[in-house]
Structure 1
Amino acid sequence: MDVKDCNGNILAEGDSVTLIKDLKVKGANVTLKRGTVVKSIHLTDDPEEIEGKVEKVKGLVLKTCFVKKA
Structure 2
Amino acid sequence: MLVRGPEGLYDGYSIPADSLVIEDDEAPLGAPIYYSVLTINADGTGSEYRTTDTVILDPGDPNYVWL
Bigger radius of gyration among the two = 2
With a CA cutoff of 8 Å and minimum separation of 6, indicate the structure with the bigger relative contact order. 1
